[in-house]
């Protein structure tokens, strides 16, 4: 099918809106708190509620895509994403904004679940690992630009401009999916609640699958917990300008992007086991340094940025290896497996972002401890997942 050649582009573009919505909006967090006259923790809930919606809907999209097709499910989810994004643009109150962000989460999970199920439909083994690494690289190039773009837009036209850019991307994404996305699932299965529950019991009863799902998700949680507090930390505690903050944020993500782009080349230099051990050690060292620097250099933005760069470097390599393996454990229910993975990720992210917002007191240590907790749990599950998949 000719349109299959364009699948990687469609995959990336459909993930852009859900990937950049946070990074574009976070430079506006201090302004949002001031505009709506609410505490910082209320603004941070825009991330937590987004992931809560993501969690709820991601449990549904996988089974829907198994029964009605990947394409129809993508169209449904991305329509909700566009509606929620437009709601953010015109939000007259913080309650409206929080509701719109929740709807965005309901829609954003469609691409996150179904794209990776489609990758598993079409690509196998190293080819899938390579594609996931390249997609991470391309997405994170855009994500690295997003906070800088968000900073400029916020300075020029305010926080509504940031949400307006996201809304435009969401609408364009839906149009591209409608026009060009092919169906990749060959055989549909009837939508039976008993079968869905049976599949979920199978997945949730597998320790190997659960650990392989949680390892990359916990690394993502560590980063999101940091992002939820970063704007306040850099601009208020470190007294940096918005542009200086966005450059720090962009630098962190740029290192992740570069490493993701060459992840397969880096992995090929080692055995898979060696690569996992080495880069798990890298992100653990980054987390330890973040805690240590919070005592030694409590007002040094560069120390925090360098620590987060190490965490993201380790994240980039370990994510590519473990995530691809997690979808191969139960190949006959890849859509449902992707649903479970993304729903658990969203629930974990909502929890860690909430924990970070509650713990945050304007000091680096409050953020560092939450990040360290997520990273430590990620390391433990990475070890268990790799040993499990090797013996399966």
Q: What is the pLDDT of residue 252?
A: 87
The 3-state DSSP composition of the chain as helix, strand, coil percent (nearest 5) reads: 90, 0, 10
Q: How confident is the model at residue 2 (pLDDT cuts 50, 70, 90)?
A: very low
Q: How far is CA 333 from CA 206, 228, 265, in A?
A: 14, 34, 30
Distance separating alpha carbons of residues 109 and 56, to the nearest angstrom: 9
CB 134 within 8 A of CB 261: yes
- Establish if 339 belongs to a structural domain: yes
- Establish if 342 belongs to a structural domain: yes
3-state secondary structure 247-299: HHHHHHHHHHHHHHHCHHHHHHHCCHHHHHHHHHHHHHHHHHHHHHHHHHCCC
Query: Which run of H or of E encompasses 145?
Result: helix 125-157
- Establish if 1 belongs to a structural domain: no
Please enumerate in sequence order all residues whose Cβ is within 8 A of that of 341, keeping only pairs 6 or more positions apart, or say none: 113, 116, 213, 217, 323, 326, 327
Q: How far is CA 190 from CA 57, 69, 111, 195, in A?
A: 19, 11, 22, 9
- Establish if 363 belongs to a structural domain: yes
Distance separating alpha carbons of residues 186 and 194, to the nearest angstrom: 22
Distance separating alpha carbons of residues 362 and 343, to the nearest angstrom: 30
Block residue for tokens 């007191």: 361
CA neighbours closer than 13 Å in the CB half-sphere of residue 358: 8
- Establish if 3 belongs to a structural domain: no
Query: Which letter does DSSP use for residue 182 in this model?
Result: P
**pLDDT above 60: residue 390:** no
Q: How far is CA 146 from CA 142, 246, 328, 342, 350, in A?
A: 6, 9, 32, 23, 21
Compute the mean pLDDT over every residue in the chain, rounded to the nearest whole number: 85
Quote the number of domains for the chain.
Answer: 1
Considering only residues 294 and 117, tell me which one the structure prediction assigns the higher pLDDT.
Answer: 294
Residue 353 burial by CB count (10 A; 0-12/13-18/19+): exposed, middle or buried?
Answer: buried
Taking only the tens place, the pLDDT of each residue in 310-351 is: 999 998 888 777 776 776 777 777 777 777 887 888 888 888
DSSP secondary structure string for all residues of 332-364: GGHHHHHHHHHHHHHHHHHHHHHHHHHH--SSH
379-387: average pLDDT? 77
- Establish if 176 belongs to a structural domain: yes
Q: How confident is the model at residue 384 (pLDDT cuts 50, 70, 90)?
A: confident
Percent of the chain with pLDDT over 70: 94
Taking only the tens place, the pLDDT of each residue in 243-276 is: 888 889 888 877 887 787 777 778 888 877 788 8
Q: What is the pLDDT of residue 388?
A: 55
Distance separating alpha carbons of residues 118 and 141, to the nearest angstrom: 23
Q: The domain spanning residue 203 has which CATH number?
A: 1.20.1250.20
Block residue for tokens 């190490």: 310
CB 380 within 8 A of CB 283: no
Q: Return the closest-CA partner of residue 300 out of 231, 233, 373, 226.
A: 233
Q: Return the closest-CA partner of residue 252 out of 158, 316, 182.
A: 316
Residue 187 burial by CB count (10 A; 0-12/13-18/19+): exposed, middle or buried?
Answer: exposed
- Establish if 200 belongs to a structural domain: yes
Positive or negative: CA dihedral 156, 170, 225, 305: negative
180-208: average pLDDT? 83
- Establish if 255 belongs to a structural domain: yes
Taking only the tens place, the pLDDT of each residue in 64-101 is: 888 888 999 999 999 999 999 999 999 999 999 999 99
22-46: average pLDDT? 88
Q: How confident is the model at residue 112 (pLDDT cuts 50, 70, 90)?
A: confident
Q: How confident is the model at residue 391 (pLDDT cuts 50, 70, 90)?
A: very low
Taking only the tens place, the pLDDT of each residue in 68-77 is: 889 999 999 9
Taking only the tens place, the pLDDT of each residue in 114-128 is: 887 888 788 876 777
Block residue for tokens 């401009």: 161
Positive or negative: CA dihedral 17, 7, 80, 66: negative
Q: What is the pLDDT of residue 392?
A: 47
- Segments forming the whole domain that contains residue 372: 8-183+190-391
Distance separating alpha carbons of residues 162 and 152, to the nearest angstrom: 9
Q: At 220, is the secondary structure helix, strand, or coil?
A: helix
């Amino acid at each position: 099918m000719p349109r299959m050649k364009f699948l990687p582009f469609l995959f990336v573009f459909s993930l852009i809106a859900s990937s950049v919505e946070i990074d574009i909006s976070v430079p506006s967090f201090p302004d949002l708190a001031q505009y709506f006259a609410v505490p910082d923790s209320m603004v941070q809930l825009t991330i937590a509620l987004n992931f809560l919606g993501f969690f709820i809907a991601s449990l549904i999209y996988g089974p829907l895509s198994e029964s009605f097709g990947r394409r129809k499910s993508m169209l449904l989810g991305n329509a909700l994403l566009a509606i929620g994004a437009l709601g953010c643009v015109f939000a007259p109150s913080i309650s409206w904004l929080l509701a719109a962000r929740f709807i965005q989460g309901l829609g954003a999970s469609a691409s996150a679940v179904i794209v990776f199920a489609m990758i598993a439909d079409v690509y196998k083994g190293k080819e899938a690992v390579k594609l996931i690494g390249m997609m991470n690289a391309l997405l994170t190039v855009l994500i690295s630009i997003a906070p800088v773009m968000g900073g400029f837009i916020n300075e020029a036209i305010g926080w509504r401009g940031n949400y307006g850019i996201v809304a435009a991307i969401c609408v364009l994404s839906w149009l591209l999916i409608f026009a060009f996305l092919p169906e990749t699932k060959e055989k549909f299965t009837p939508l039976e609640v008993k079968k869905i529950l049976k599949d979920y019991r199978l997945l949730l009863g597998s320790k190997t699958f659960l650990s392989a799902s949680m390892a990359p998700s916990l690394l993502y949680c560590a980063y999101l917990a940091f992002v939820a507090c970063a704007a306040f930390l850099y601009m208020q505690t470190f007294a940096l300008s918005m542009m200086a903050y966005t450059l720090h944020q962009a630098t962190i993500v740029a290192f992740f992007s570069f490493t993701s782009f060459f992840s397969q080349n880096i992995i090929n230099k080692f055995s898979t086991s060696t690569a996992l051990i080495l880069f798990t050690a890298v992100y653990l060292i980054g987390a330890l340094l973040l805690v240590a620097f919070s005592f030694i250099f409590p007002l040094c933005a560069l120390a925090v940025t360098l620590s987060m760069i190490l965490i993201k470097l380790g994240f980039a390599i370990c994510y590519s290896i473990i995530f691809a393996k997690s979808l191969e454990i139960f190949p006959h229910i890849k859509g449902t497996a992707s649903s479970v993975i993304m729903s658990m990720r969203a629930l974990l992210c909502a929890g860690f972002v909430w924990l970070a917002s509650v713990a945050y007191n304007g000091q680096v240590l409050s953020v560092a401890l939450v990040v360290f907790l997520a990273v430590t749990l990620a390391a433990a599950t990475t070890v268990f997942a790799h040993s499990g998949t090797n013996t399966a």
